[in-house]
Every structure is written in structure tokens, then in C-alpha cells.
Amino acid sequence: MTPDPVRLVPSARFIVETLELPPGISPRDTPGFLEGEVEERSLFALESTSWGYMETRKKGSPVSILLYSAFRDQVNGESDPHYAERHAVLPGFAALVGRTWRKTTWVTLLEPACVTLVRIPARSGIPNFVRSLYGKRLDDDLLTAWALRDTLLNDVEVLEDECIEEGLVRCKNPSNDRKGGVVFPLERCLAPDESWKRFGSGKLLSEATLRAADVRDSHFLNQMRNRRRAARQLNTFLRLAALLLIGLSFFQFRYIQLKKKTEQLSEQLATQRPVVAALQQQEALAKSAGRLSDPPLEIFTWLTAVNDVRPQNISFLSTYADRDGNLGFSGEAPSVAEVNTFRDGLNQTNSFSEVDTKEISSAKRGVKFSIQVKMNIDQLTQKGGDA
């Protein structure tokens, strides 16, 4: 059977005292100072004493300490075989810690083995007076519990500005929260024949406050705190590792998807490559056919411009031309004078930007010659437009 995480030891087993902390003692030195106080005040040897404390710190006021101690065998040992497994071991009246009242209030707490009267100063949340009376089977015998309540209240002096909380209050199933604190659900019964109803909750939320209030050995608590910290760090590491693993799994999944898609595209490309090659070949053939069906007619225009100037007694033997307007031709003429006349005629047309006689040599019927010209393409285009 799993033990309860929080054990509440009957308040009647503890000797409870209040004291003020001397000035100059820091929170870090407080446990050492109080250990000396327990050794001096306790009825038992220090090694046989279980003790803890709660404190109230207000700015400008002395630190108020609620110090409690008990015989260790009545708190630990055979009385609690799950001593080392519990999250906290606390006195029963700790269930009221953290529950605040506007005025100083007396509260009667019903525990399984005793009834405890507690005084809680206004807005303090920590008692400054605790007194208990033992009883038997008090959960089943509310009349006895109410009688013990009356006895406790009759033995104390309640001041005019103080309040008495009606009925009996009890704690039901305390539990530790996610941050390591403890929450005490409270219930209240206003009369012996009435049912219990929710009455808020007490709480010890800070780890340092809970460790100070715990009555187990301080060295054991330090070891347990270190183990809890190590467990929290391990849990944090495992959560981060799990998130990292999820992230890596997602990226691996996306990588496999992209790889499959790339392979599919490669297969499609390999399948379509012959088709693309055939289309490229058809396009090349179409361009070639276009060049054959649409010859550069401007070259004929340029040759015509040269032939219009040619005298009747000069004949062409060969010609060549390119798309840049460079023309060359060779022919025969009766004399050099006829060749020069032909050259001058070419210069006078303004259709040529350059006219150059490359060669003149004698022949049986006169001379052979070659002339190279550069067409004035802009001039020819303008004439064509005017026409």
C-alpha cells in the first residue's frame, strides 16, 4: 500500500513554545540557533528529539518563532514505518498554517487522536498558541470532541478584540502540489448533528518553509531535498530529450518525404527526356526549314543597288555577301578607266559607306578587278520607306 505523502502527527505529542529571534541572526543561521534552543529547552536529549519551527517575519518587527519538539520515537521509528518515504511529516496544527483571518482568532482543530486549540494572530497565518487534549475515536464521537473544545476554551483568556471561530475544523487528505509544497483542505462542522462543509485550505508552499516545519532529522531532509532536485533535473532533461527526439523524428519524416518526391521527379524526368530530345530536334528542323523558306531578301536588294550602277561594258564573274552588309564582287572591264568610273559611280550613290578596289589585273579582253563595298543599311532602309 502506498503511504500518504504527508503525515500529520497529533499536536498533543508536541511541546510548543513561542520566542523572538534575537537581532542579527540571519535566515541562514536560524536553524543552528534554534537547535541550541531545543537542546536547552527539551525534556529529552537532542538525538532523541524531533523538532521543527515556523516563523513570522514582518518588516520593522522582531522575528516571531513557533518552536515545537517531541520525543523522536513518538514521531518516527516504529510509529511510522514509511518515515523516509513521505513528502513531509508535520504536527497536526500545521493544517491551519497559511489560512488567515482579519482579526486574531481562536480555532478548534479536530484531529484523530486529540482536539487542539490554536490562536492565529490577525493576517499572520502562523499560530502563536497551541494547546491539545487527547481523546479516543473522536471522528466517530463528536460529542466528546465538542466537550473537549469547551474545556480548552474555558482554560484560556480570550480578549475583547479577539474572535472564536464557530464549530470544529478538520483537515481532510493533505497532499503535496507540483512545486513541492503542501495543501491542507479544511472542513468545518458547526454542530455535532450537522455535516462537514468546505472551509478553505491551509498551505505550506515554499520548499524552505516546509523543510523548516518538517520534524524529521535535518540531515535526512537535506539529502531528500538534493534527491528531489536531482529528480527534477532528470525529469527536465528527459522532457527536453523527448522534445528533441520528436523534433528529429519530424525532420526525418520530412526528409524521407522530400527524398521520395525527388526520386519521383527524377523518374519522371528520365521518362520525359526522350520526348524533350525529340521536341528539340523538331524545333531545330523547323528553324532550318524557316531559314530555307524565308531567305534573306535584303541581300538581293543590296546586289541590285550595285548592279544599277554597273556600266554595260562591265560584267560580273562572282559575288559574295553577308548579313552585315559586306559585299564583294569580281568582274571584267575593257580598261582600268572603266573600273574607276564604276567605282566612282558606287561612291556617288550614298548607298555604300565604304568602297574599296581590291585588285586590278590585265586580261585578254581588258582587265580583271575585284571591289569590296560596305552597304549603308540605314540609307537603303530609308529609301525603301520613302518608296
pLDDT in tens, 164-183: 999 999 999 898 877 778 99
Q: End-to-end alpha-carbon separation of the chain, Å?
A: 116
CA 175-179-184 angle, 5° bins: 25
For residues 302 and 181, membership in a common domain is answered with no
Q: Which of 220, 241, 271 is the last residue of a domain?
A: 220
Return the minimum-mean-pLDDT range out of 68-72, 257-261, 320-324. Answer: 320-324
pLDDT value of residue 1: 61
pLDDT value of residue 78: 61
Determine the average pLDDT of the residues in 76-95.
84
Is the residue at 205 inside a domain? yes
- Does 2 score more than 70 pLDDT? no
Return the minimum-mean-pLDDT range out of 115-119, 120-124, 139-143. Answer: 139-143
In this prediction the pTM is 0.58
Residue ranges making up the domain that contains 307? 297-386
Determine the average pLDDT of the residues in 35-52.
90
DSSP code of residue 48: G
DSSP code of residue 157: P
Q: Which of 171, 194, 220 is the last residue of a domain?
A: 220
pLDDT value of residue 286: 62
Question: Band of the pLDDT at 217, cuts 50, 70, 90?
Answer: confident
For residues 216 and 312, membership in a common domain is answered with no
- Between the ranges 108-122, 231-245, 319-333, where is the mean pLDDT highest? 108-122
Mapping DSSP to helix (H, G, I), strand (E, B) and coil, where does residue 56 land? strand
Is the residue at 248 inside a domain? no
pLDDT value of residue 162: 95
pLDDT value of residue 296: 55
Is the residue at 112 inside a domain? yes
pLDDT (tens digit per residue) in 11-20? 999 999 999 9
Q: Which of 102, 126, 209, 113 is nearest to 170 (CA)?
A: 113
Place of cell 512545486: 179
pLDDT value of residue 325: 80
Total of domains in the chain: 2
Place of cell 485550505: 201
Place of cell 475544523: 169
CA distance 178 to 345: 110
For residues 58 and 144, membership in a common domain is answered with yes
pLDDT value of residue 134: 95
Contact 170, 112 (CB under 8 A): no
Which residues are bridge partners to 188 per DSSP?
Answer: 169, 197
For residues 210 and 325, membership in a common domain is answered with no
pLDDT value of residue 227: 67
Is the residue at 251 inside a domain? no
Is the residue at 247 inside a domain? no
- Does 380 score more than 70 pLDDT? no
CATH of residue 361's domain is 3.30.1360.100
Is the residue at 234 inside a domain? no
Is the residue at 240 inside a domain? no
Dihedral of alpha carbons 338, 342, 343, 344, sign: positive
Percentage of residues in the chain with pLDDT exceeding 90?
Answer: 36
pLDDT value of residue 229: 66
Is residue 187 within a helix (H) or strand (E), and if so which, with residue range?
strand 182-189
pLDDT (tens digit per residue) in 299-326? 777 778 788 888 888 888 888 887 778 8
pLDDT (tens digit per residue) in 218-231? 776 766 666 666 76
Q: What is the chain's mean pLDDT, rounded?
A: 85
pLDDT value of residue 262: 86
Contact 350, 333 (CB under 8 A): no
Strand order through the sheet with 15-20 = 15-20, 64-71, 49-56
- Does 24 score more than 90 pLDDT? no
For residues 210 and 309, membership in a common domain is answered with no
Q: Which of 164, 198, 220 is the last residue of a domain?
A: 220
* Residue 335 or residue 120, greater confidence: 120
Question: Band of the pLDDT at 363, cuts 50, 70, 90?
Answer: confident
Contact 271, 264 (CB under 8 A): no
Is the residue at 236 inside a domain? no
Backbone φ and ψ of 177, nearest 5°: -90, 180
